[in-house]
Structure 1
Amino acid sequence: MTERVLTGDRVTGKLHLGHYAGSLKNRVALQEKYETFILLADVQALTTHFERPEVIRRHLSEVALDYLAAGIDPERATIFVQSMVPEIAELTVFYSMFVTVNVLRHNPTVKAESKQGGLDEMYYGFLGYPVSQAADITFCKASIVPVGDDQLPHLELARKIVRRFNELYKPVLVEPKPLISDMPRLVGTDGSAKMSKSLGNAIALDSSKEELALTIRKATTDPARVRRSDPGHPERCPIYAYHRAFHPDGTAEIREGCESAAIGCTACKERLTAILERLLEPMRERRSRYAGRLADVDDILMDGTRRAREIARETMREVREAMSLNYFDAGHSAPAAME
């Protein structure tokens, strides 16, 4: 039996090169090998966008277009909308009954994201994010979850939830295992943090040729390299990090040229722009085709969500039976008030 993969993104805006390097590129490869489910996490987007839910519809379309542009094939991968699979919310509630608040409060990813988001108070939905993720993974019995190091605490909690459920009730859930990405987190164009939409230091996957060239031209380089003749320090430079991520075969030449001052920052950026343009141009073409057929994109999401719901219903039937919550599934008559 083919193993099942679950991955996805919160729908908080367009995806960028960091997403491509860290996950999208890998997903395109995984869909050829595994039964792949890709989640558009609109409910989890509300943890930081609950005051502006109207923007999520636009973000949903943007992220779906980014998936298709990057090479996700709806014939091979099931792309679905989280909020339209209510069984995920039901599982989240059941799991929350045996996950303590202290465990959630001490989750390092929750603490880091809370600090980064500048949250003055810890909302229930944000605190329970890892429980919701456990439901995302287990509703379809995914056995593989691609993660970066920062998401490992979430996945470990999901594994503990599965073990606890199976011990308490009946072994119906699949314990997922991580597929660790070997791609380092891509630094932002300002060189000061990870690439992020909210920090304004990202290169969007739908960047035009002109936007790409301008963004790279304005990007931070080695701050210690003041003059063209100064030797550079590649490890301090975001541009070198991008060369390493998107053209690893050429990094030895770039490193040597930078350290010896044989290559200037302008020339280095021009080389990178050409490399990224070769990557993004076919994505633009695919995105343009789908953007002209948005009704087809909606159909892809509805078909994927329909399939996800079928699997979710079967999982919930097993979960309810294991928990002895299938009150009226064993031939008993329903109470009069329910008839």
Structure 2
Amino acid sequence: MSVARMLTGDRPTGRLHLGHYVGSIANRVRLHQRYESFFIIADLHMLTTRNSREDVGRVSGNARDMVTDILSAGVDPARATFYLQSAIPEVGDLNTLLQNLVTVPRLERVPSLKDMARDAGKEEMPYGLLGYPVLQAADILCVKGRVVPVGKDNAAHVEVTREIARRFNHLYGEVFPVPELIPAETPTLVGTDGQGKMSKSRGNSILLSDDPAAVRRKVMSMYTDPNRVRADVPGTVEGNPVFAYHDVFNPDRARVDELKQRYRAGRVGDVEVKEQLVAAVNRFLDPIRERRAEIEADRGLVDQLIVDGTERTRREVHQTLVEVRRAMGLTGAYQQLRRRAERARRTAATAV
């Protein structure tokens, strides 16, 4: 029996951070050992909100950085296929065929699209952003992905994929597996400024590639309880980003509980709580840093992984598109026209 395929990935907009790790990467590290895993470098999706020449020019470097981050986090390169979305034009062909299987009102009900437009500073939603879930469906279905691990923001997108797969199979015959959504079980990680989720564009993130000094600088400047002006003033733990990070990255539960009790009682200062967090985050990142050093020492490894993975994926997608066109009858239509044209040429030649 063949191993089920998993499709996941990110837009190449920069280095990955702790929020990515908590929201999706940790789940991928766990799951990629169980599935045949495809990791998309989704640069076409990036164009829906970032499409300047400068943005496009950074794709190569960002793709390399992103794959390095994912490998450093624990993904085994021998068990993962990385590919660049824009290098596989057949994905666009499949997107064109699938976009007729979903309505505009259905896409307008996907809640994250408006958030994405707002975060990108778009006053009106671009056509490509409205169709983001359809292109995502093409990404998943082109490799016949059966499982899709996603964060909360993308769960509604995958549901659109499931609807499109069922609709296609109903109209044209069984071609696509209906993918299963595997949601991340961890909460969204708040940014270091306490203002919404961690985000590269907001500058409130701790990167997986940050060195110990950068981690210290960012943690020591973190938002805490604004009403706590001195260490002897009882503080609030709930909603405090520093303690939210302790809960995720500090495995010493007894020490965290002690810090919380002392903080509520006004018997510990923010500096000590943050120093403890600096140590915990750096301990968490140390193995990632070690793997990164090994990956970067093997010059050309990441580039070759992306090139080989893209070529392999394009072969897979080409075969899927052949099956799709055959199921829809598009191949037969062209063949009929070609046969008629051949008969006409032969008749004309005979007449002469």
What TM-score does the superposition give when structure 1 sets the normalisation length? 0.93
Q: Deviations over 1:270-320 (max 9, x none)?
A: 111111111212222222332344422111111111221222122112111
Q: Structure 2: which amino acid aligns with 1:28?
A: V
1:104 aligns with 2:104: no
Q: 1:218 to 1:2 in 2, by over 3 A?
A: same
Q: Deviations over 1:239-263 (max 9, x none)?
A: 1111111125524333223222333
Q: Structure 2: which amino acid aligns with 1:84?
A: A
Greater mean deviation of Cα atoms: 190-199 or 42-51: 42-51
Q: Deviations over 1:196-248 (max 9, x none)?
A: 00001001111111111111011111112221011221112111111111125
The correspondence for 2:324, drawn from 310, 316, 319, is 319
Match of 2:36 in 1: 35
1:261 aligns with 2:266: yes
Matches within 5 A, 1:41-120: 41-51=42-52, 52=54, 53-120=56-123
- The count of aligned residue pairs is 335
Match of 1:208 in 2: 211
1:172 aligns with 2:175: yes
1:186 aligns with 2:189: yes
SS at match of 1:228: coil
Q: Structure 2: which amino acid aligns with 1:277?
A: N
Whether the 8 Å contact between 2:72 and 2:288 is mirrored in structure 1 is yes
The correspondence for 1:159, drawn from 159, 162, 165, is 162
Match of 1:289 in 2: 294
Identity %: 42
TM-superposed deviation, 1:167:
0.8
The correspondence for 1:278, drawn from 252, 276, 283, is 283
Q: 1:232 to 1:170 in 2, by over 3 A?
A: same
TM-superposed deviation, 1:334:
9.8
Question: How many Å separate the matches in 2 of 1:258 and 1:317?
Answer: 63
TM-superposed deviation, 1:264:
2.1
SS at match of 2:8: strand
Question: How many Å separate the matches in 1 of 2:257 and 2:183?
Answer: 26
Question: How many Å separate the matches in 1 of 2:15 and 2:151?
Answer: 20
Q: Deviations over 1:1-51 (max 9, x none)?
A: 322211110111110010011111111111111211111101111112211
Q: Structure 2: which amino acid aligns with 1:43?
A: L
TM-superposed deviation, 1:68:
1.6
Question: How many Å separate the matches in 2 of 1:46 and 1:335?
Answer: 41
Unaligned runs of 5+ in 1: none
Computing the radius of gyration from Cα coordinates, the structure with the larger value is 2
Matches within 5 A, 1:189-268: 189-247=192-250, 249-250=252-253, 251-268=256-273
Question: How many Å separate the matches in 2 of 1:138 and 1:254?
Answer: 48
Question: How many Å separate the matches in 2 of 1:335 and 1:212?
Answer: 69
TM-superposed deviation, 1:89:
1.2
Q: Structure 2: which amino acid aligns with 1:25?
A: A
* Greater than 4 Å deviation, 4+ residue runs: 332-336
Q: Structure 1: which amino acid aligns with 2:142?
A: F
Q: 1:81 to 1:294 in 2, by over 3 A?
A: farther
Question: How many Å separate the matches in 1 of 2:339 and 2:309?
Answer: 35
SS at match of 1:286: helix
SS at match of 2:300: helix
Question: How many Å separate the matches in 2 of 1:159 and 1:322?
Answer: 18
Question: How many Å separate the matches in 2 of 1:329 and 1:141?
Answer: 26
Q: Deviations over 1:44-90 (max 9, x none)?
A: 11112211311222211111111121111110111111112222111
Whether the 8 Å contact between 2:49 and 2:117 is mirrored in structure 1 is no
Unaligned runs of 5+ in 2: 343-352
Q: 1:334 to 1:176 in 2, by over 3 A?
A: farther
